[in-house]
Amino acid sequence: MKKLFSACLALAGLTLLLGACSAKQSSSSNGSWDRIEQSKTLKVATSGTLFPQSYHDDDNNLTGYDVEIIKEVGKRLGLKVEFEEMSVDGMLAALKSGKVDVAGYSEKDGKNADKFLWTRPHKYSFTSMIVRKEDNSGIHSLKDLKGKKAAGAASTNYMKIAKKLGAELVIYDNVTNDVYMNDIVNKRTDVIINDYYLQSMALTAFPDKPIKILEDVYFNPTSASFSLSLDNKVLLEKIDGALEEMRKDGTLTKLSEKFFAGQDVTQEKKFDYETVDISDVE
- Give the pLDDT confidence of 190-218 residue by residue, as tens digits: 999 999 999 999 999 899 999 999 999 99
Q: What is the mean pLDDT of the chain?
A: 89
DSSP string, 190-244: -EEEEEHHHHHHHHHH-TTSSEEEPTT--EEEEEE--EE-TT-HHHHHHHHHHHH
Please list, in sequence order, all residues whose beta carbon lies within 8 angstroms of the beta carbon of residue 235, skipping any fewer than 6 positions away: 31, 32, 33, 36, 101, 102, 228
Q: Indicate the pLDDT class of residue 2, thresholds 50, 70 and 90.
A: very low
Q: Which has more confidence, 155 or 12?
A: 155
204 vs 261: CA distance, rounded Å: 9
Q: Which pLDDT does position 30 carry in this prediction? A: 64
Residue 51 φ then ψ, to 5°:
-75, 135
pLDDT for 125: 94
**pTM for the complete prediction?**
0.78
What are the tens digits of pLDDT across the range 51-94? 899 999 999 999 999 999 999 999 999 999 999 999 988 998 99
What domains are defined for the chain? 33-122+225-249 (3.40.190.10), 124-222 (3.40.190.10)
Cβ contacts of residue 147 below 8 Å, gap of 6+?
166, 167, 168
Q: Give the per-residue pLDDT at 6.
A: 44
What integer is the mean pLDDT of 217-233?
94
pLDDT of residue 108 exceeding 80, the answer is no
Percent of the chain with pLDDT over 70: 88
pLDDT of residue 11: 41
* Contacts for 255 with CB less than 8 Å, ≥ 6 apart: 65, 68, 69, 72
Beta bridge partners of 127: 195, 219
High-pLDDT (> 90) share of the chain, %: 75
More confident position, 137 or 18? 137
pLDDT confidence of residue 221: 93
pLDDT in tens, 231-280: 999 999 999 999 999 999 999 999 999 999 999 999 988 878 999 999 89
* Distance in angstroms (rounded) separating the CA atoms of residues 209 and 226: 32
pLDDT attached to residue 31: 63
pLDDT over 70 at 28, yes or no: no
**1 band by pLDDT with thresholds 50, 70 and 90:** very low
Return the pLDDT at 113: 76
Mean pLDDT, range 15-40, rounded to an integer: 63
Q: Which segment of 24-28, 117-121, 136-140, 253-257 scores lowest on mean pLDDT? A: 24-28
Contact 83, 91 (CB under 8 A): no
pLDDT of residue 282: 84
